[in-house]
Structure 1
Amino acid sequence: MRYSSIWTALVLAASAVAVPSPKTSLRVKESIAAPRGWVKRDVAPRDLRINLRIALPQSNFPLLEQHLYEVSDPSHERYGAHLSQAEVNELIAPRPESVENVKAWLAAHGIHQEDLSHSPAGDWIKVTIPVGLAEEMLDAKYHIWEHSDGDTLVRTTSYSVPEHLHEHVELIQPTTLFSRFRGMKTTSHFVQNKAPSAATTDAPAINVPSASNGQVDASCNNTITVTCLKELYNAVGYTPLANTGNHIAVTGYLDQFANFEDLQLFFADQVPAAVNSSFNVISVNGGQNNQSEPGGEANLDTQFGFGISHPIPATFYTTGGSPPFIPDIGTPTDTNEPYLDWVDFVLSQPNLPQTISTSYGDDEQTVPFSFAQRVCNSFAQLGARGVTLTFSSGDSGVGDGDPDPATQECFSNDGLNRTEFLPAFPASCPFVTTVGGTVNVPETAIFFSGGGFSNFFAQPSYQSAQVEAYLAALAPGTFAGLFNRSGRAYPDVAAQADNFLIFFEGQPTDIAGTSCAAPTFAGFVSLLNDARIRAGMPSLGFLNPLIYSLKGAGFNDITTGNNPGCGTPGFNATEGWDPVTGLGTLNFGELKGLIV
């Protein structure tokens, strides 16, 4: 139906549907205080179109979660028996009465079946409507909000739905989501025109007992290359196959484009066998891969993720929609929730890469709990289907998005302005493997490595023994009141995160951040999947129950360094798991022997 006719059809549509009047039975569904840094500006134009998403409760998610843990637990008889897309969709499909009630409500506002789109399981209903209609439906007032960094969003801080729909609607967005979804590379360490990596230094090799042949080239203390990583993580000499069905992918957002010419320069410098090979590009929600505008984040993720795992087939997901949003005639739709577009897309695909790396996130408290929980549940669906998801832990230590610990503002967003550590999301989701950062050879924790404890998600049982041991060793009163001791703890693992040599705009460039660590770890996971598939075994899927069960085996424990923030020195890296480097960095050779 044409939305210009909706306004005149509202009364007729409402009278034809036997549901309580949406104007007389509304009750607040969600209300928040705007996150720090956001200022309300103008009223949003009523004719501005927004992509409204309505989440219906997933009928059997607890059963899906049970399946996820069973197929991910190496001690369980179902280990590796991943679910199909159809099996997952059946478990999360909403109840028919939820679908019927929500559609009746929409019809009362002149929105009918032909106007809607649905997720494969039917647990999301999506429709594009004018702001004016959304305000009437939700008893909300949308404004243009501006962040101190210049980003703008069209949002409301409160919305309502009819009383009888509260049990049938989990959340509606875009409403209260103020997340900015940043890349996890440091802005303070991006140096172009660094010398290529062709020659090693004259300094003697560094003795590292866990490394390949017990040594790492001395140049790796100044410049990290694919060769450095394979030496350090004991993978020299392992060559995967290209035709086993194994696949790796990285995600790109916010107009971050991966450049093919830069990739060839990187391969020529660091992975000569990969020259003239490339990766597949999959566009999500109109995402582009503009070769005239290469992105440092995208180049980093593709060059190292795919350089480590070559010749395993590789994909770059480029997802459209990015802030800043400027409501003008050239931008008629507010489309700056790209991450949800990507999740919707991948869940709709019958066949998925076994390993997917993402280097984006934001402070957990900028994401409404209902939204964070729903996105996290989507990751559980992917894990149940045999996908390993790696996420960067963040580049702000225990603090907020400011990479400088001295200028961080670590305040709660509940109106009380309590000083507290600020965990990151999606790093805090218990269904992903979160990767912190290290530096130097031998390795130590790097100062910006994000880590801590979720305020949203409870500590999962797979990590409770290691986390409780860490907390028990803390001096009494350490950071009292600054973090949630019972929350999901992260990171789970770590990898090098400084002095990575990539190629950007045709030039060698030095880059840092846990954006380096996540695709690095994912590249080695893809090699592990290669070994398992060649042995007739399923892919690893959701990693965390496995790696925590190994009790340190297959990992290099990092015991020095810390992650300052919020006016504190942050947590210390120490023996065993810690909220700076997790379980440590992987020893590929040892870990392969444990899982194949």
Structure 2
Amino acid sequence: MRVFSAWIVLALAAFTAAAPTTHTVKIKETVNVPRGWTKRDEAPRDLTVDLRIALPQSNFPLLEQHLWEVSDPFNERYGAHLSQEEVNELIAPHPESVDLVNSWLAEHGLSGADIARSPASDWVKVRVPVGLAEEMLDAKYHVYEHSTGDTLVRTTSYSLPEHLHAHIELIQPTTLFSRFRASKATLHFDQAAQTSSTNTDAPAISVPSASGGTVDASCNTTITVTCLKELYNAVGYTPLVNSGNQVACTGYLDQFANLDDLQLFFADQVPAAVNSSFKLISINGGQNNQSEPGDEANLDTQFLFGITHPIPATFFTTAGSPPFIPDVLTPTDSNEPYLDWLDFILNTPNPPQTISTSYADDEQTVPPSFAQRVCQGFATLGAKGVSLTFSSGDGGVGDGDPDPATQECFTNDGRNKTEFVPEFPPSCPFVTAVGGTIHVPETAVDFSGGGFSNFFSRPSYQAAAVPGFLSTLVPGTYAGLFNPNGRGIPDVAAQADNFRIFFGGSPILIGGTSAASPTFAGFVSLLNDARIRAGKSPLGFLNPLIYSIGANAGLTGAFNDVTTGNNPGCGTPGFNATTGWDPVTGFGTPNFGVLKDIVLALP
């Protein structure tokens, strides 16, 4: 009896000692492995991962309210963007969340110098070995290999103490299998590209909305900066170099912008820009290796900075790219460069006013919690006065694969249901998604990504435009293949094929909505130049203005409505371009001259 009693006393003592750090654990997030990924070996326990912990932004609804007010051209606060300090105050987590997360980290031996925080403390980053991550998250990490050979270290499920669920929105890398690829549909060396970029023999093409009413005939087969300025009515407009306006594009996945190629491009198409360049900003050790020119990076920098010269330009190069090889030569799983860029730009007090990105992935490969939080980051940038453009994708209504023969249009939720596949981040309602056109006069290019988000509901600015398009569909069209209540994609469009760039010292033709995003962003930057010169604020988040213009019959001509073409995918013809907004070309392509008059008339 005494022995039994002594055992009870010892057991109770042990339980009491463990009680302060014993919590009820509950699953936080579970995903199915996206199609194309195969589980391989268990992840090495000593491999280090950067766990990023998102704390709830306590006043984000108020920040979102500010965003709508400063972006609505009919609101008296239009253009009154928030400062970095005001933004940080609104997105700061509740002190209770900070304290509880700190306590949880301390229970696992992490404190002080082990922890990195964003200025608003809404993100916490800790570098830990996989073994500790598995203990903290009650998870099991494995190496997953994609059919392309890319590899990631991920888990399909993780858990947290139940009392932390309201204080942690998400933790990554865990369930994010996104591959974040460039939107390139075509890349080919072409005999026409080896000759001069202009052809004066054929008669000019009549385009009433263009500068002077005509576009050079060569633009029907080869797109240059001159073609775009003619087509979009910007010939003769020269921006200032010192107005405070800035423009930028992003580079990932070892896509490097070659300086010699840039000079060849300038000599060929923008002689006034010869000997000028861009500012290089390295994030997380990003490089710009001049011996490895990137076709995507060359396209983005050459056309965006060619259109906007002499506006000060920036190329963000962010390190981290697949494949990950789990051995001693690769001690850290660094497959999430996009988070590094977003963290950097969110905490930059005066970022460029216009930023173009030509990378995306299938929305369904991104956990909804991650997509929502990233989208909130874009809203934060908009509230600060930044215009963000994203390529809408190159798979039509299908996944990001521009080859219809290899597209896979099935859900990743275990049902394997056939559905159209929107792209993220273009599906975020706080960015401007740019689709593609081709030829002169313009028609929708067949790879132009478009459709409707399965994550984000229709934003208020689309309340008239999207139902207007849906009402034109024959009842039952593509029933069950898309979400008719989702955010519609794209918002606008621009030329997207046969772009003449220089790559490795030679001219080539390249295409994809990767070309459309920097093109549209270039003209947005010119509009910002006009406003800033007039003593006004930059445009910031564009979509409320775009849709207000689209809904106003008196502003006809601000966008060149593209009414022909379609975006096939998933074994279907996709949607048709039509009068007004459509999920192929949005409201169409920009008419800079008309848009300039509109934005200069705004407060």
Asked if Structure 1 and Structure 2 have the same fold, meaning a TM-score greater than 0.5 normalized by the shorter chain, the answer is: yes
Q: State whether structure 2 residue 568 is matched by structure 1 residue 564.
A: yes
Aligned-partner SS, 2:127? strand
Q: CA deviation at 1:404?
A: 1.4
Aligned-partner SS, 2:414? coil
Decide whether aligned partners of structure 1 residues 92 and 580 sit closer, same or farther in structure 2, where only a CA change above 3 A counts: same
Q: CA deviation at 1:189?
A: 3.1
Q: TM-score, normalised by structure 2?
A: 0.95
Name the counterpart of 2:362: 363
Aligned-partner SS, 1:550? helix
Name the counterpart of 2:512: 513
Q: CA deviation at 1:84?
A: 0.4
Distance 1:502 1:47 in 2: 44
Name the counterpart of 2:189: 191
Distance 2:463 2:208 in 1: 29
Which structure 2 residues correspond to residues 35-54 of structure 1 after superposition, within 5 A?
35-54=34-53
Name the counterpart of 2:466: 467
Q: CA deviation at 1:409?
A: 1.5
Distance 1:161 1:19 in 2: 16
Name the counterpart of 1:3: none
Q: Counterpart amino acid of 2:254?
A: D
Determine if contact 2:197/2:222 at 8 Å carries over to the other structure. no
Q: State whether structure 2 residue 285 is matched by structure 1 residue 286.
A: yes
Q: Counterpart amino acid of 1:585?
A: T
Which structure 2 residues correspond to residues 209-220 of structure 1 after superposition, within 5 A?
209-220=208-219
Distance 2:480 2:355 in 1: 35
Q: CA deviation at 1:490?
A: 0.8
Name the counterpart of 1:347: 346
Q: CA deviation at 1:196?
A: 4.3
User: Structure 1 residues 76-85 or 321-330, which shifts more?
Assistant: 321-330
Determine if contact 1:241/1:311 at 8 Å carries over to the other structure. yes
Q: CA deviation at 1:463?
A: 1.3
Which structure 2 residues correspond to residues 395-410 of structure 1 after superposition, within 5 A?
395-410=394-409
Q: CA deviation at 1:520?
A: 0.4
Q: Which runs of 4+ in 1 moved over 3 A?
A: 14-20, 196-199
Determine if contact 1:397/1:564 at 8 Å carries over to the other structure. yes
Distance 1:322 1:16 in 2: 45
Distance 2:201 2:149 in 1: 48
Q: State whether structure 2 residue 150 is matched by structure 1 residue 146.
A: no
Distance 1:553 1:59 in 2: 42
Q: CA deviation at 1:93?
A: 0.3
Equivalent residues, number: 580
Determine if contact 2:183/2:400 at 8 Å carries over to the other structure. no
Decide whether aligned partners of structure 1 residues 107 and 206 sit closer, same or farther in structure 2, where only a CA change above 3 A counts: same
Distance 1:87 1:172 in 2: 26
Q: Counterpart amino acid of 1:562?
A: N
Which structure 2 residues correspond to residues 115-514 of structure 1 after superposition, within 5 A?
115-186=114-185, 188-191=186-189, 194-514=193-513
User: Structure 1 residues 310-319 or 188-197, which shifts more?
Assistant: 188-197
Name the counterpart of 1:590: 594
Q: CA deviation at 1:201?
A: 3.7
Distance 1:591 1:18 in 2: 65
Q: TM-score, normalised by structure 1?
A: 0.96
Q: CA deviation at 1:199?
A: 3.6
Superposed CA offset, 1:158-195 (max 9, x none) = 00000110011100000000000000111x43326622
Aligned-partner SS, 1:268? helix
Paired-residue identity, %: 74
Name the counterpart of 2:106: 107
Superposed CA offset, 1:64-112 (max 9, x none) = 1000010000000000000001101100100000010011011001111
Determine if contact 2:392/2:513 at 8 Å carries over to the other structure. yes
Decide whether aligned partners of structure 1 residues 174 and 535 sit closer, same or farther in structure 2, where only a CA change above 3 A counts: same
Aligned-partner SS, 1:473? coil
Name the counterpart of 2:548: 549
Superposed CA offset, 1:205-239 (max 9, x none) = 00000000000000001100000000000000000
Aligned-partner SS, 1:333? coil
Determine if contact 1:495/1:520 at 8 Å carries over to the other structure. yes
Q: State whether structure 2 residue 91 is matched by structure 1 residue 92.
A: yes
**Structure 1 gap ranges (5+):** 1-13
Determine if contact 1:410/1:422 at 8 Å carries over to the other structure. yes
Decide whether aligned partners of structure 1 residues 233 and 277 sit closer, same or farther in structure 2, where only a CA change above 3 A counts: same
Determine if contact 2:197/2:500 at 8 Å carries over to the other structure. no
Max radius of gyration: which structure? 2
C-alpha root-mean-square deviation of aligned residues, in Å? 1.3
Q: Counterpart amino acid of 2:183?
A: M
Decide whether aligned partners of structure 1 residues 531 and 44 sit closer, same or farther in structure 2, where only a CA change above 3 A counts: same
Q: CA deviation at 1:546?
A: 0.4
Q: CA deviation at 1:198?
A: 4.4
Determine if contact 1:557/1:585 at 8 Å carries over to the other structure. yes
Determine if contact 2:197/2:224 at 8 Å carries over to the other structure. no
